[in-house]
Amino acid sequence: MSIFLNTVGKNQLTPKEILHDPVLFLAFGFGSGLAKKAPGTFGTLAAMPVYGLLLQTNDWLYSVLTVLATLIGIWICGVAAKKLEEHDFGGIVWDEIAGFLITMWLIPFTWSTLIGGFILFRFFDILKPWPIKVVDKRVAGGLGIMLDDVLAGIFAAVVLRFVLHLGWLG
């Protein structure tokens, strides 16, 4: 019994096809979105090494690369949805990667902030409070796929900053 999907989307693409197509490989978070259960959580976990690499840069470069990942993500997610013939398929997790990078933007690294950022981002991404839910339902295409996670990342970042300000995370 595999933990990975056998076929993907209405076009029934195989994991091999996903992993060999550069756009789908990115859209599926380097393969993490192929998980049968909780692909968004696995996509967010896949964002952690990306975050770790960006931590090695300065704030300016982290910012530029996060904005680029978000803007390019609109195209990546839009193309992936068309190739799958399915809007916002759960395995498309590039939006989680960008959303998590937004959550952690300019947050000082500690293991507590990393875990707190992960939990907060997943919380807002899964529950989709207003206005995230409205955006998720009304905005189509690659922009729609990305925008709800961008908002979840912003919400998570605001709460994480507040928690840090109060001294609740070391």
pLDDT at residue 11, rounded to an integer: 78
3-state secondary structure the chain: CCCECCCECCCCECHHHHHHCHHHHHHCHHHHHHECCCHHHHHHHHHHHHHHHHHCCCHHHHHHHHHHHHHHHHHHHHHHHHHHCCCCCCCCCHHHHHHHHHHCCCCCCCHHHHHHHHHHHHHHHHHCCCCHHHHHHHCCHHHHHHHHHHHHHHHHHHHHHHHHHCCCCC
59 vs 140: which has the higher pLDDT = 59
Averaged pLDDT of the chain: 94
pLDDT at residue 32, rounded to an integer: 95
Instruction: Work out the burial of residue 67: count CB atoms within 10 Å of its CB; fewer than 13 is exposed, 13-18 middle, 19 or more buried.
Output: middle
User: In this structure, are residues 59 and 9 in contact, taking their beta carbons and an 8 Å threshold?
Assistant: no
User: In this structure, are residues 96 and 21 in contact, taking their beta carbons and an 8 Å threshold?
Assistant: no
Answer yes or no: is pLDDT of 170 > 70.
Answer: no
82-130 pLDDT tens trace: 999 988 889 999 999 999 999 999 999 999 999 999 999 999 999 999 9
21-56 pLDDT tens trace: 999 999 999 999 999 999 999 999 999 999 999 999
Q: How far is the C-alpha of 125 from the C-alpha of 168, rounded, in Å?
A: 22
